[in-house]
Amino acid sequence: MAGVSLPFRTALILVVTGTLSLPLAAQEAEPLRIFAQFKSAIEANDLVGAGRRAEELVDTVERRHGKDSRELVNPLTNLGTVQFRRGEFDLAERSYQRAIGLIEGELSGADRQLIRPLQGLGETWLASGRPAEAAAALKRAVDLSRNLDGLYNIEQLDSVDALIEAYVTLGRDADAEREHQFAFRIAESNFGKRDLRLLEPLEKLAHWHESMGRYSTSRGLHARALQLAEELSSDKPIVGVSALRGLSRTWILEAIYGPEVTEAQGLDTVEPGDSFFNNPGQGRLNAEGLRALNFAVDIIKKSSPLDAKLLGETIAQIGDWHLLSGNFSKATNSYSESYKVLDSAGPEARRLLETPRRLVYRPPAISALRMRPQNRDDYALHTVEMQLKIGRDGKVQDAVIVNSAAPENSNRAALLAARKARFSPRIEGGQAVETEGLRMTEQLMIKVQREPASTN
């Protein structure tokens, strides 16, 4: 169920498996009928219909059991989930908080039924730009799950994923790292070390290490996933395509940014250069990465039914490889082929190539992506909005500030980083074309100048 937000995914799983407890006695026909309609609407992703049925179920339970009854917890959580999915975050927050309040007033919060509304509330705050509050709610949900259902229970993984996202948003990398590692141990403990269900956890952990500059570590995880796919799914090799693409990506990242980044070095040791492979520690692209992509393309083409979207995306990745290695002719040929394949998969798939994609970018040193101050309250966050012109070769031909309240020297740092970025070109009708007016934003952390404390 890729692409479904976490609270909605959890609610859907609970409804489909039947583990969502009904709020009323089985002999009461009306709530059962409403609940069945709600379930059907959720399964069909009919959020309008699901919202109506969820509201109707809340009203029915209120009439029969009162507005302060525990029986309202599940209906309110379902309602909050639908409201969240529809982007009605204020309404979702109220529904989740009301559900939480009904339990806390009765058992001081030590209740398994709190886990789902706490997760939903945390997701809602995260989507509303309140990561600190989200982290607190999600951590509480995770702690409850571990205390009540066991340290390694697999039901907590959705909450853990959301908690990691909150920690990353807050720049709490050490906390995010701990939860990433623990999430993988949960999966391994439940599935065993030789199970295809480990592929997704391995990919998540590999992506995390990539984001931290640990490219060889990430490559080892992708290699393990590929080995599992080859050994356990020889009749369906397409399950290993994601690992092959991941392996290739680590070679590109390592060539661009240098070898494995240590904790002592951090991510600040290499500043953007004028070209992509002229910085200390950098090297040429490893041909193993391109071979992995070509192997992935062969696997996809031989699979039935053909996944045109996956094939087009993988061929586009080959185009990126050639572009970054300086072979513009091969890159444009790959992009043209990718465009044709994606076009056959429909307009949604083709959109991948209709806007330049950022391939290489080193944020300025004062970027919120790079700074990890001990006290974030000492810094103000300034958003810099820029407008770029991207050439047919993916290079930034021009960059201007269109909106910023940051100091002038900070704006210059943002512009310098943007001009040294590299993009895939926009593909129109199978051909690489220039792009005017591409918007790009950067968040800068500017130290707050405080007045000295008065000595009087």
Structure tokens at 73: 């917890």
Q: Which of 8-12, 168-172, 434-438 has the lowest mean pLDDT?
A: 8-12
Domain boundary among 191, 220, 236: 191
Helix/strand/coil percentages in the chain, nearest 5: 60, 10, 30
Which residue in this structure is represented by tokens 């974030």? Answer: 376
Query: What is the count of structural domains for the chain?
Result: 2
How far apart CA 145 and CA 128 sit, in angstroms, is 24
- Residue 306 CB-density burial (10 A; 0-12 exposed, 13-18 middle, 19+ buried): middle
| Tens digit of each residue's pLDDT (9 = 90 or more) over 98-136 | 999 998 755 555 788 999 999 999 999 999 999 999 999
Helices 47-65 and 29-43: crossing angle in degrees, nearest 10, is 160
What are φ and ψ of residue 49, in 5° steps?
-65, -40
Residue 351 to residues 84, 133, 274, 300, 357: CA-CA distances in angstroms?
A: 26, 35, 30, 20, 11
- Chain centroid offset of residue 375 CA: 26
227 falls within a domain:
no
pLDDT value at residue 265:
43
pLDDT value at residue 453:
60
| Tens digit of each residue's pLDDT (9 = 90 or more) over 105-114 | 555 557 889 9
DSSP assignment of 180-247? HHHHHHHHHHHH-SS-GGGHHHHHHHHHHHHHTT-HHHHHHHHHHHHHHHHHH-TT-GGGGHHHHHHH
102 falls within a domain:
yes
380 falls within a domain:
yes
Task: Residue 425: give its domain's CATH number.
Answer: 3.30.1150.10
332 falls within a domain:
no
Helices 241-257 and 308-324: crossing angle in degrees, nearest 10, is 20
Is 29 in contact with 105 (CB distance < 8 Å)? no
74 falls within a domain:
yes
How far apart CA 283 and CA 275 sit, in angstroms, is 12
Spell out the residues 6+ positions from residue 223 whose beta carbon is closer than 8 angstroms to its own: 243, 247
77 falls within a domain:
yes
Q: Grade residue 377 by pLDDT with cuts at 50, 70 and 90.
A: confident
Domain boundary among 141, 163, 191: 191
8 falls within a domain:
yes
Compare 360 and 29 and report the one with higher pLDDT: 360
How far apart CA 224 and CA 207 sit, in angstroms, is 14
The count of other CB atoms within 10 Å of the CB of residue 251 is 22
The count of other CB atoms within 10 Å of the CB of residue 59 is 12
Structure tokens at 229: 């796919």
Domain boundary among 143, 159, 191: 191
Structural domain including 432 reads 364-447
345 falls within a domain:
no
Residue 449 reports pLDDT greater than 70: yes
Task: Residue 181: give its domain's CATH number.
Answer: 1.25.40.10
Q: Grade residue 8 by pLDDT with cuts at 50, 70 and 90.
A: very low
Residue 452 reports pLDDT greater than 80: no
DSSP H helical ranges for 18-88: 29-43, 47-65, 73-85
The count of other CB atoms within 10 Å of the CB of residue 440 is 20
How far apart CA 456 and CA 446 sit, in angstroms, is 29
| Tens digit of each residue's pLDDT (9 = 90 or more) over 26-84 | 446 788 888 888 888 888 889 999 999 999 999 998 988 889 988 899 999 999 999 99
User: Which amino acid would we find at residue 164?
Assistant: I
